[in-house]
């Protein structure tokens, strides 16, 4: 696990910073998502303002990890206790919001195996029925640290819709309805790029340009109001190599801003 402490007031925050060291991240204990309710603290002087800005009664203080990369494993456990997983999926974030996911992740086979085994244990120990995602930091020394668990289909698993025999959403239904889990075989290396509301500025994304690219699958969520940092949709690409899939996804997303 990422080293962390529960914090309920500014005095505990100051003690916590001494214990964990700087820099650190202060996070709301409830309802945080897409980096909302998170503040990085780089010096003791910033602590008081960070606590006031967060404005909650329950928080978590974490050591800021200088990681090599981030990966996630999306997995499912059925009513009968069967386990199936996708990934590890490689994730890059921008401003604490998931930006691009690539599957398979560029990690060694032993890190990949270990990430899946840790995830299997998490689902077993928590007696999870359904889909759960475990997010990891991979440290520069090759150690896996759990950052977060999300008990549901996860943004990093959206590429399973196009790249896997059974997607994470079908898997969720199968798991909780007592059906056998579907195959998580990956049909092709794949990448996913999130489309944030920022792309609607200064004007609507250039959809017709994107649609000219036959390698790109577009998924829009039907949200009416685009806002900065709001996830409006994503694109998925398949390619023979994960690095190519990532490059194509990033280029396709950039093309949305071309006139
Ligand atoms: N302790 C940390 N050290 C280094 N980076 C961090 C740390 N905590 C968060 N981050 C960065 O911010 C991202 C989002 O953090 P986290 O997963 O905790 O937030 P969240 O708001 O719950 O996001 P979501 O539920 O959308 O994944 C992480 O994936 C990572 O890139
Ligand atoms: Mg997260």
Cα 31 to ligand 1 centroid, rounded to whole Å:
13
Do 137 and 250 belong to one domain? yes
Please write the tens of the pLDDT for every residue from 76-97.
999 999 999 999 999 999 988 9
Q: Ligand 1 centre from 151 Cα, in Å?
A: 16
CATH number at residue 202: 3.30.470.20
Q: Tell me, using a 6 A CB cutoff, whether residue 147 lines ligand 1.
A: yes
Whole-Å CA distances, 172 to 46, 84, 126, 167, 248? 42, 11, 16, 9, 29
Q: Is the CB of 116 under 6 A from ligand 1?
A: no
| 162 and 128 housed in the same domain | yes
Range of the domain at 10: 4-63
Q: Could you give the C-alpha distances from 78 to 34, 65, 177, 193, in angstroms and in order?
A: 28, 33, 9, 29
pLDDT given at position 56: 87
Average pLDDT over the chain, rounded to an integer = 96
Tokens of 136: 């990891």
Of 63, 91, 113, which residue is a domain's last? 63
- The total domain count for the chain is 2
In this structure, the answer to whether residues 165 and 191 fall within a common structural domain is yes
What's the pLDDT score for residue 65? 95
* Average pLDDT score over residue span 169-197: 98
- Whether residues 146 and 223 share a domain: the answer is yes
pLDDT over threshold 80, residue 125: yes
pLDDT tops 90 at residue 242 = yes
pLDDT > 80? residue 229 = yes
Averaged over 51-61, what is the pLDDT? 92
Q: pLDDT tier at 258 (50, 70, 90 boundaries)?
A: confident
Predicted local distance difference test score (pLDDT) of residue 52: 94
Do residues 44 and 83 touch, judged by C-beta distance below 8 A?
A: no
Are 210 and 123 in a shared domain?
Answer: yes
CA distance 159 to 144: 23
């Amino acid at each position: 696990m990422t080293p962390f402490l529960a914090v309920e007031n500014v005095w505990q925050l100051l003690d916590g910073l001494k214990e964990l060291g700087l820099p650190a991240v202060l996070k709301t204990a409830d309802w945080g998502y897409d980096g909302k309710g998170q503040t990085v603290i780089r010096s003791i002087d910033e602590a008081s303002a960070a606590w006031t800005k967060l404005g909650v009664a329950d928080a978590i203080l974490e050591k800021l990890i200088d990681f090599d990369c981030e990966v996630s494993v999306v997995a499912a456990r059925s009513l009968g206790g069967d386990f199936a997983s996708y990934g590890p999926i490689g994730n890059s974030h921008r401003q604490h919001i998931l930006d691009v996911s690539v599957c398979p992740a560029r990690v060694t086979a032993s890190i990949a195996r270990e990430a899946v085994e840790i995830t299997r244990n998490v689902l077993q120990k928590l007696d999870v029925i359904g889909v759960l995602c475990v997010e990891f930091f991979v440290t520069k020394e090759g150690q896996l640290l759990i950052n977060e668990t999300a008990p549901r289909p996860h943004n990093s698993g959206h590429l399973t819709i196009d790249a896997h025999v059974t997607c994470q959403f079908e898997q969720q239904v199968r798991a909780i309805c007592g059906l056998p889990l579907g195959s998580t075989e990956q049909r092709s290396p794949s990448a996913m790029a999130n489309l944030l509301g920022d792309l609607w500025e200064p004007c609507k994304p250039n959809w017709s340009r994107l649609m000219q690219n036959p390698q790109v699958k577009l998924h829009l969520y039907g949200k009416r109001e685009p806002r900065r940092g709001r996830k409006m949709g994503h694109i998925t690409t398949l390619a023979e190599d994960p690095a190519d899939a990532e490059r194509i996804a990033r280029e396709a997303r950039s093309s949305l801003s071309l006139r």
